[in-house]
Structure 1
């Protein structure tokens, strides 16, 4: 009798512990399903919709995130430059090209966990469509660097890897336009500190 009870408790603890452990692993480390790529930029446009997989919804709930719905906007992240090299805070990059038509956009750098990098002195930690200097033809050039640059400069601090986060609000992309047909700015490495 006691042996049966102990074996039952052992079986239940292995099943519950294994199930909870595998669920934690999937929520913690598995990427969301359905990425869409546009150059070095990656988006998950279904995260805020009913089409999102349950693990992605659980991950966002666990992290306290609230994804945009399809009609609100879309968030693109880039962990590599246009040549496929990982982004580093010790390097200088030029984000150049034109933005898709959108009511408002923001660009900021964050660590690999998604935590925005701290501002450098009195410089803002992010840029947006209201403060950018445009070139002829609505083109833009943004320098992402630990060193000051003229015109549009997004300062970064630290030595580790980083990602760039581009948020487009109220854009045709969010209204069903194909993201794969979207032309987003390129990210070109200029140089790196030794």
Structure 2
């Protein structure tokens, strides 16, 4: 009798623990269906709509985030540089290029669950389109680094991997079917600066 109770308890513990672990793994590692990929940037145009996949809905519920509606904007994120290497907080990166048309956009560093990294004391946690210095043709260059940089600088603190999150508000991209011509800036490691530590 006691053996049966112990085996039943062990079976339930394995089933519940394994099920919980597999759900956490799937939500942390699997990005979901319907991704729009532009270079190293990914977005989910269906997020926040009834057509959103179950993984996106579960991730949003777990993280307590609200997705933008199709008419409100679109969120892109990049976790790797132009060479496919994972972004590291101890390294310096340069984001160059132009963005799709939008009334306003923001760029901030986040952890893997897309929660914003804590800002450096006295610094804003994000950059936005109205404060960026641009060249004459409208292109820009942003340096993401743990060390202070001239021009457009987005500071990152701590160590380990991070994700760049770029959100476009009031943009035709979110509801457009012509997404094949979409251009996003490129993030590349600044080799001469290297990585700290």
TM-score, with length taken from structure 1: 0.85
Q: Secondary structure at the match of 2:172?
A: coil
- Equivalence map 1:82-93=2 (5 Å): 82-93=82-93
Q: Secondary structure at the match of 1:136?
A: coil
**2-side partners of 1:27 and 1:141: how far apart?**
33
Matched residue, 2:54: 54
Shift in alpha-carbon separation, 1:26–1:156, aligned structure 2, 3 A: closer
Q: Which moved more, 1:171-180 or 1:139-148?
A: 171-180
**2-side partners of 1:46 and 1:137: how far apart?**
32
**Structure 1 residue 30 displacement after superposition:** 3.3
**Structure 1 residue 55 displacement after superposition:** 3.2
**Structure 1 residue 121 displacement after superposition:** 2.5
Query: What are the ranges of 5 or more consecutive residues in structure 2 without an aligned counterpart?
Result: none
Matched residue, 2:132: 132
**2-side partners of 1:133 and 1:88: how far apart?**
25
Q: Secondary structure at the match of 2:173?
A: coil
**2-side partners of 1:161 and 1:183: how far apart?**
25
- Equivalence map 1:1-194=2 (5 Å): 17=16, 21=20, 26-27=26-27, 29-190=29-190, 191-192=193-194, 193-194=196-197
Q: Secondary structure at the match of 2:187?
A: strand
TM-score, with length taken from structure 2: 0.84
State how many pairs are aligned: 191
**Structure 1 residue 51 displacement after superposition:** 1.4
**1-side partners of 2:37 and 2:151: how far apart?**
28
Root mean square deviation, CA, Å: 2.7
Q: Secondary structure at the match of 2:57?
A: helix
